[in-house]
């Protein structure tokens, strides 16, 4: 990697504390095809996207070409790689938004309104990370099933 290149991890570090973020249809498509795995030690790890096969296949860019761009031949070019790296880096924030909102759909995100807390009161501090506000309550049909694997 050269100095002018970046990775999905670099993207994630840049967006993880964003106060505004838009969940786009491409994000939703990718999460609907996500494969999960247990990451880390069995007693101190956590569930997450399978880091070797996040979308089921052994070739991440080919999977993304098929899922995001509908390319049955799974072909992609250099411009696609940059776009796919950007999408992949944003997925951690998108996953956090989906889990907090309880729904999986594309929409803009705005920071939560600030609440005033009386001195000495004992209430939880609002989270500093972005949330999706409003919208209908989540229904199970909106969420992926079977360990993230879903047919087309």
Residue 148 lies in a domain: no
In terms of residue numbers, what domain contains 63? 22-109+124-142
Residue 98 lies in a domain: yes
Q: For residue 139, name the pLDDT band (cuts at 50, 70, 90).
A: very low
Domain count within the chain = 1
Residue 118 lies in a domain: no
Residue 14 lies in a domain: no
Residue 11 lies in a domain: no
Residue 97 lies in a domain: yes
Asked if pLDDT for residue 68 goes beyond 60, the answer is yes
Beta strands in the chain (DSSP E): 21-23, 36-39, 46-49, 107-109
Q: Please, which residues have CB within 8 angstroms of residue 19's CB and are 6 or more apart in sequence?
A: 111, 130
pLDDT in tens, 100-136: 887 777 665 555 454 444 444 444 433 444 444 333 3
Q: For residue 77, name the pLDDT band (cuts at 50, 70, 90).
A: very high
Residue 68 lies in a domain: yes
Residue with tokens 């247990």: 38
Provide the whole-model pTM.
0.64
Nearest to residue 130, comparing CAs of 109, 108, 107? 109
- Tokens matching residue 95: 């996953």
Residue with the larger pLDDT of the pair 119 and 51: 51
Residue 147 lies in a domain: no
8-28 average pLDDT score: 87
- Given a contact cutoff of 8 angstroms between Cβ atoms, the answer to whether 131 and 58 are in contact is no
Give the integer Cα–Cα distance in Å for 126 and 148.
29
């Amino acid at each position: 990697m050269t100095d002018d290149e970046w990775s999905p991890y670099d993207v994630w570090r840049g967006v993880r504390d964003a106060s505004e973020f838009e969940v786009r249809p491409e994000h939703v498509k990718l999460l609907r095809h996500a494969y999960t795995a247990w990451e880390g030690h069995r007693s101190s790890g956590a569930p997450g996207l399978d880091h070797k096969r996040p979308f089921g296949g052994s070739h991440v860019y080919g999977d993304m070409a098929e899922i995001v761009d509908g390319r049955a031949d799974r072909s992609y070019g250099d411009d696609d790689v940059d776009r796919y790296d950007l999408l992949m880096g944003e997925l951690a924030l998108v996953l956090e938004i989906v889990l907090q909102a309880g729904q999986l759909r594309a929409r803009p995100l705005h920071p939560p309104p600030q609440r005033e807390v009386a001195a000495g009161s004992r209430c939880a501090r609002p989270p500093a990370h972005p949330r999706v506000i409003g919208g209908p309550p989540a229904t199970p049909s909106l969420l992926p099933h079977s360990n993230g694997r879903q047919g087309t």
